[in-house]
């Protein structure tokens, strides 16, 4: 995460999951980690 807010997700994460531009996520913040949950297109 950059200081001004954007979150950058690398190819090592996106390629195995076949993610596309425009896919939506919910960002879950934990005490020691961040987790991305992909949202269903119908939501």
So what's the pLDDT on residue 2?
A: 65
Residue 15, pLDDT score: 84
Name the residue with tokens 């690398």. 10
Q: Could you report the per-residue pLDDT of 17-34, keeping only the tens digit for each? A: 888 888 888 888 888 888
Grade residue 16 by pLDDT with cuts at 50, 70 and 90: confident
Please report the pLDDT score of residue 42 as a whole number: 66
Domain definitions of the chain by residue range? 1-43
Say whether pTM exceeds 0.75: no
What is the average pLDDT value for the chain, to the nearest integer?
81
Torsion of CA 2, 6, 7, 9, to 10 degrees: -110
Q: Is 15 left (phi over 0), alpha (psi -120 to 50) or beta?
A: alpha
């Amino acid at each position: 995460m950059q200081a001004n807010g954007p979150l950058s997700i690398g190819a090592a994460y996106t390629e195995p999951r076949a993610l596309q531009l425009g896919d939506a996520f919910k960002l879950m913040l934990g005490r020691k980690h961040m987790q991305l949950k992909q949202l269903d297109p119908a939501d």
